[in-house]
């Protein structure tokens, strides 16, 4: 089963290597990993999507906790959460098919962010299913280049993954 | 007043109560060595950086205090690696200080540059590269804190040369604040009650004690637990000394070269109380058949060890000593049953044994060492047959008297570790039980022992084989002794060349007198015991086999 871990880490040099190294040497599979700063500049947040059964997940979490730079880990999979991914797609677009492509872009509420002589660059955000659907739809036109950010995710409602714990904010 | 980074390092080490450092100078640590020159810290110049790491490790295991080693950048640092990995696998508090090229030279493949924080990432509990002299004191404070608390382990601090030269005001912090590092020390009350219930209901309990008992200084609490529950006690290699092997409830070591009584007891028990142990493959053998009928209580300070290899019924995360104290307070005195008698019968029926045939046997040498030292010595070992015989045929009664590379199995560990142990515990007789293969891996440290007159005794069990590998070749590879036939130097002459005392013993009757002479000499000694060449370590569980199915013995 796939799990989404929200991991708060010290924004120290090498922290990504520590986390990535842990996964590779212990043989855990990372589906995706994103990292960026949070509202606190000393803390970065990783969103790690990892596959494995409950026993593997328990070990992943415990081993991550052993890293001194890891402050907090939330497995948000079983909670209500919002997850998003961003994709940039450069698609082959002769003038004859541009209208059709623009229609697809509209349907998915994506955006055209650049136009070349024979290409269009499309930006789309959404959950994994939507991103996959956009890619699928644009496939017939010839995808020249594609880049995805990997997933970021956040709990819905008043639950937090922050160092202030899951206290309600009222 | 402002101090240089190098002076801050020395002052910080003194603040931490460090008395001894094992190290080797070089270009990038020149400022640190310059500061050492007029300090009161005792520095021991080893002959190879690996020796420094093992010596600091042996010092730490013998004293319970963190060991400190120091090496220059590049090759100096990489030479520490095996020693750091050894300490990591056995949870030894070790501080490794390495010099590094100046900050502006980093990442440019500079002379003697190696990314040692990158290299040691998977074999340290944590490591640091200090890039600002203002961070230095705090970093050292944090390093000692991380190395010595929770599950101890090695911490490396990499210090560029310019940081050692730069100056700042020195103030050693009183406390550390690491929000990502808060080891759980106190056991969960609910789980402790669950353990009490399981113990009350158990008919055939066994205590399986590991190195964690030694690390957390919990021998007395373990003793009380054993007496309260009337449980037979088996220890791992790392747990040797945690429980007196002379006690009627002791069944000795378990696992691959464990006693039959220990392995049978674990296989038949209905409750296994694992204390500071990690269910290593050398202990469990085939996992499905390890303690198959038992409920398991697992006490360990490292939550990641719980449930890693076996399913546990009652997990208790916490410091072994604190958890056992609380557990013991809640326990009622149990009464012995038919179970204890059964275990005692196994013990009587299947003692460790070997055949006497007139040729000098390694086992009898270990027994003689036990007799002559009254079991009061610190025994350090190399790795292989020598290590197993040392574990089997000496009866350990106190923690920190058996020092051995268990997890990593590092040949060449013994001599430098013995030097470190002797530095830390100068009043104890320290004997390195060695093989003729292992001893040659760090024999250069004889020069260190002689130079500082550190009177360690090296007892080489010399069979002119890499004995343990040969044993496996004999049993599993049809006696095809591929490259295990090894010749050594004349160890007596070698000892003399180093300025140590050298002796050779070929007969049983000379073992005792030679050992006596070695202890009385009060200087470094090598005794070359020429032993039966193809003696095997028994009993033996074939790798991956169930532990109750043993060969030999």
Tell me the Ramachandran region of residue B135: left when phi exceeds 0, alpha when psi lies from -120 to 50, beta otherwise. Answer: alpha
Rg (CA), chain B: 24
Instruction: Give A-chain residues touching B129 at CB under 8 angstroms.
Output: 13-14
Instruction: For chain B, give the longest Cα–Cα distance.
Output: 72
| Cβ contact, residue pair A65, B118, below 8 Å | no
What's the pLDDT at A1? 86
Average the pLDDT over A40-59 and give the result.
94
**One-character DSSP codes across A24-38:** HHHTPEEEEEEEEE-
Average the pLDDT over A152-168 and give the result.
76
Nearest chain B alpha carbon to A59: B304
Residue A77 CA to residue A2 CA, distance in Å, equals 8
| Cβ contact, residue pair A68, B307, below 8 Å | no
Instruction: Give A-chain residues touching B126 at CB under 8 angstroms.
Output: 67-68
Torsion of CA B145, B147, B148, B149, to 10 degrees: 70
Question: Which positions 293-312 of B are in contact with A (Cβ < 8 Å)?
Answer: 302-304, 307-308
**One-character DSSP codes across A66-134:** HSTTEEEEEE-TTS-EEEEEEEEEEEE--HHHHHHHHHHHHHTT-EEEEE-SSEEEEEEEE-HHHHHHH
Question: Choosing from B7, B22, B28, B49, which is the catalytic residue?
Answer: B49
* ipTM for the assembly: 0.90
Nearest to B431 by CA among B448, B415, B450: B415
Nearest chain A alpha carbon to B310: A55
Torsion of CA A65, A70, A76, A78, to 10 degrees: 0
* Shortest distance, CA A164 to any CA of chain B (angstroms): 12
| Cβ contact, residue pair A21, B122, below 8 Å | yes
Buried/exposed code over B41-50 (b: 16+ C-beta within 10 A; e: otherwise): eebbebbbbb
Of A21, A62, A65, the CB nearest to B121: A21
The answer, for A83 touching chain B at a CB cutoff of 8 Å, is: no
pLDDT tops 90 at residue A159:
no
* Shortest distance, CA A94 to any CA of chain B (angstroms): 47
| Cβ contact, residue pair B304, A67, below 8 Å | no
* Shortest distance, CA B55 to any CA of chain A (angstroms): 26
Average the pLDDT over A67-79 and give the result.
95
Nearest to B231 by CA among B104, B98, B344: B344
Listed in sequence order, the residues at least 6 apart from B3 whose beta carbon sits closer than 8 Å to its beta carbon are B11, B167, B168, B169, B170
The answer, for B132 touching chain A at a CB cutoff of 8 Å, is: no
What's the pLDDT at A168? 43
E strands, B74-184, where?
A: 94-100, 126-129, 154-160, 167-169
Listed in sequence order, the residues at least 6 apart from B26 whose beta carbon sits closer than 8 Å to its beta carbon are B71, B72, B73, B76, B99, B112
**One-character DSSP codes across B196-228:** HHHHHH-SSEEEEE-HHHHHTT-HHHHHHHHHH
| Cβ contact, residue pair A68, B117, below 8 Å | no
What's the pLDDT at A143? 97
What's the pLDDT at B1? 85
* Domain range list for chain B: 2-169, 189-349, 362-530
Superfamily of domain B2-169: Thiamin diphosphate (ThDP)-binding fold, Pyr/PP domains (3.40.50.970)
Instruction: Give B-chain residues touching A71 at CB under 8 angstroms.
Output: 179-180
CA dist list (Å): B362 to B77, B240, B260, B373, B476: 37, 20, 20, 17, 22
Residue B149 CA to residue B301 CA, distance in Å, equals 10
Instruction: Give A-chain residues touching B307 at CB under 8 angstroms.
Output: 55, 58-59
Nearest to B87 by CA among B160, B11, B22, B12: B22
A107-146 pLDDT tens trace: 999 999 999 999 999 999 999 999 999 999 999 999 999 9
| Cβ contact, residue pair B180, A71, below 8 Å | yes
Nearest to B444 by CA among B430, B424, B423, B458: B458
Buried/exposed code over B233-269 (b: 16+ C-beta within 10 A; e: otherwise): bbbbbbbbbbbbbeeebbbbbbbbbbbbbbbbbbbbb
The answer to whether B19 is a known catalytic residue is no
| Cβ contact, residue pair B122, A14, below 8 Å | no
B134 DSSP assignment: G
Nearest chain A alpha carbon to B143: A68
Nearest chain A alpha carbon to B152: A66
The answer, for A56 touching chain B at a CB cutoff of 8 Å, is: no
Tokens of B230: 């009337």
| Cβ contact, residue pair A68, B178, below 8 Å | yes
> What's the residue count for chain B?
553
Nearest chain A alpha carbon to B155: A68
The answer to whether B203 is a known catalytic residue is no
Fold equal for B2-169 and B189-349: yes
> What's the residue count for chain A?
170
Tokens of B497: 């060349």
Tokens of B35: 């500061």
Residue B98 CA to residue B117 CA, distance in Å, equals 10
Residue B79 CA to residue B71 CA, distance in Å, equals 9
What's the pLDDT at A167? 47
The answer to whether A8 and A18 are in contact (CB under 8 A) is no
A141 DSSP assignment: G
pLDDT tops 80 at residue A170:
no
The answer to whether B186 is a known catalytic residue is no
Q: Mind listing the domains of chain A with CATH numbers?
A: 2-75 (3.30.70.260), 83-152 (3.30.70.1150)
CATH 3.40.50.970, domain B362-530, yes or no: yes
Torsion of CA B214, B305, B199, B349, to 10 degrees: -60
A11-32 pLDDT tens trace: 998 999 999 999 999 999 899 9
What's the pLDDT at B501? 98
Question: Choosing from B14, B15, B112, B395, which is the catalytic residue?
Answer: B112
The answer, for A1 touching chain B at a CB cutoff of 8 Å, is: no
Listed in sequence order, the residues at least 6 apart from B472 whose beta carbon sits closer than 8 Å to its beta carbon are none
The answer to whether B184 and B317 are in contact (CB under 8 A) is yes
The answer to whether B283 and B252 are in contact (CB under 8 A) is no
Tokens of B352: 């460790």
The answer to whether B540 is a known catalytic residue is no
CB atoms within 10 A of CB B221: 21
* Pairing label, strands B67-71, B94-100: parallel
Of B117, B126, B129, the CB nearest to A68: B126
| Cβ contact, residue pair A9, B178, below 8 Å | no
The answer to whether B113 is a known catalytic residue is no
| Cβ contact, residue pair B304, A63, below 8 Å | yes
Structure confidence at residue A164 as a pLDDT band (50, 70, 90): low
Judging by beta carbons within 10 Å of its beta carbon (0-12, 13-18, 19+), is residue B402 exposed, middle or buried?
buried
Question: Which positions 160-219 of B are in contact with A (Cβ < 8 Å)?
Answer: 178-181
Question: Choosing from B89, B256, B468, B540, which is the catalytic residue?
Answer: B468
Torsion of CA B120, B121, B124, B129, to 10 degrees: 80
Low-confidence ranges of chain B (pLDDT < 50): none
Tell me the Ramachandran region of residue B456: left when phi exceeds 0, alpha when psi lies from -120 to 50, beta otherwise. Answer: beta
Nearest to B435 by CA among B354, B543, B531, B542: B531
Q: Write the class of the CATH domain B189-349.
A: alpha beta
Nearest to B392 by CA among B363, B418, B434: B363
CB pairs A-B closer than 8 Å: 39
């Amino acid at each position: 089963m796939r799990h989404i871990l929200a991991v708060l880490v010290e924004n120290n040099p090498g922290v990504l290597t520590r986390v990535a190294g842990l996964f590779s040497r212990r043989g855990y599979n990372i589906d995706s990993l994103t990292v960026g700063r949070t509202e606190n500049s000393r803390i970065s947040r990783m969103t790690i999507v990892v596959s494995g059964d409950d026993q593997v997940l328990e070990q992943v979490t415990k081993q991550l906790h052993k890293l001194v730079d890891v402050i907090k880990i939330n497995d948000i999979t079983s909670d209500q959460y919002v997850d998003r991914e961003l994709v940039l797609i450069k698609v082959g677009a002769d003038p004859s098919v541009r209208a059709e492509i623009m229609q697809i872009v509209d349907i998915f509420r994506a955006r055209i962010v650049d136009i070349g002589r024979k290409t269009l660059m499309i930006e789309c955000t959404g959950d994994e299913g939507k991103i996959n659907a956009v890619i699928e739809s644009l496939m017939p036109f010839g995808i020249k280049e594609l880049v995805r950010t990997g997933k970021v995710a956040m709990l819905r409602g008043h639950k937090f993954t922050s160092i202030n714990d899951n206290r309600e904010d009222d | 007043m402002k101090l240089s980074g190098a002076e801050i390092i020395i002052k910080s080490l003194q603040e931490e109560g460090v008395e001894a450092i094992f190290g080797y100078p070089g270009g990038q640590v020149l400022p640190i060595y310059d500061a050492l020159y007029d300090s009161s810290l005792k520095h021991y110049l080893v002959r190879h950086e690996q020796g420094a790491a093992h010596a600091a490790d042996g010092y730490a295991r013998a004293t319970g205090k963190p060991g400190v080693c120091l090496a220059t950048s590049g090759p100096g640092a990489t030479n520490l690696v095996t020693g750091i990995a050894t300490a990591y696998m056995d949870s030894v508090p070790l501080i490794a200080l390495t010099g590094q090229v100046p900050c502006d030279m980093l990442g440019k493949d500079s002379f003697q540059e190696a990314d040692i924080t990158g290299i040691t990432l998977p074999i340290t509990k944590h490591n640091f590269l200090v890039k600002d002299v203002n961070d230095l004191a705090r970093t050292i404070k944090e390093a000692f804190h991380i190395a010595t608390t929770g599950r101890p382990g090695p911490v490396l601090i990499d210090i560029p040369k310019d940081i050692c030269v730069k100056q700042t005001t020195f103030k050693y912090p009183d406390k550390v604040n690491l929000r990502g590092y808060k080891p759980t020390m106190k056991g969960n009350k609910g789980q402790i009650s669950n353990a009490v219930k399981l113990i009350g209901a158990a008919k055939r309990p066994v205590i399986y004690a590991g190195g964690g008992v030694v690390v957390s200084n919990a021998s007395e609490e373990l003793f009380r637990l054993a007496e309260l529950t009337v449980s037979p006690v088996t220890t791992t290699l790392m747990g040797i000394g945690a429980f007196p092997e002379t006690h009627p409830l002791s069944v000795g070591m378990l696992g691959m070269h464990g006693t039959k009584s220990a392995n049978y007891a674990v296989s038949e028990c209905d409750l296994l109380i694992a204390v500071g142990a990690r269910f290593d493959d050398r202990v469990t053998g085939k996992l499905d058949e390890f303690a198959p009928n038992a409920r398991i209580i697992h006490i360990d300070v490292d939550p990641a060890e719980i449930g890693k290899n076996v399913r546990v019924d009652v997990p208790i995360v916490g410091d072994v000593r604190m958890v056992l104290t609380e557990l013991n307070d809640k326990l009622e005195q149990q009464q012995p049953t038919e179970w204890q008698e059964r275990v005692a019968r196994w013990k009587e029926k299947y003692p460790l044994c070997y055949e006497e045939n007139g040729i000098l046997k390694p086992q009898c040498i270990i027994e003689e060492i036990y007799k002559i030292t009254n079991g009061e010595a610190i025994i350090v070992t190399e790795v292989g047959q020598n290590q197993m015989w040392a574990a089997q045929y000496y009866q350990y009664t106190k923690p920190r008297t058996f020092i051995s590379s268990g997890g990593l199995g590092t040949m060449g560990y013994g001599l430098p570790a013995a030097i470190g142990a002797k530095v830390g515990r100068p009043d104890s007789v320290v004997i390195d039980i060695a093989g003729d293969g292992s001893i040659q891996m760090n024999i250069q440290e004889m020069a260190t022992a002689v130079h500082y007159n550190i009177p360690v005794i090296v007892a080489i069990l010399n069979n002119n084989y890499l004995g343990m590998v040969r044993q496996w070749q004999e049993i599993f590879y049809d006696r095809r002794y591929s490259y295990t036939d090894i010749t050594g130097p004349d160890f007596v002459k070698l000892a003399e060349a180093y300025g140590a005392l050298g002796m050779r013993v070929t007969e049983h009757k000379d073992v005792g007198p030679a050992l006596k002479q070695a202890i009385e000499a009060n200087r470094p000694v090598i005794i070359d015991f020429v032993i039966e060449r193809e003696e095997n370590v028994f009993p033996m569980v074939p790798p991956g086999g169930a532990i109750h199915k043993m060969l030999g013995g």
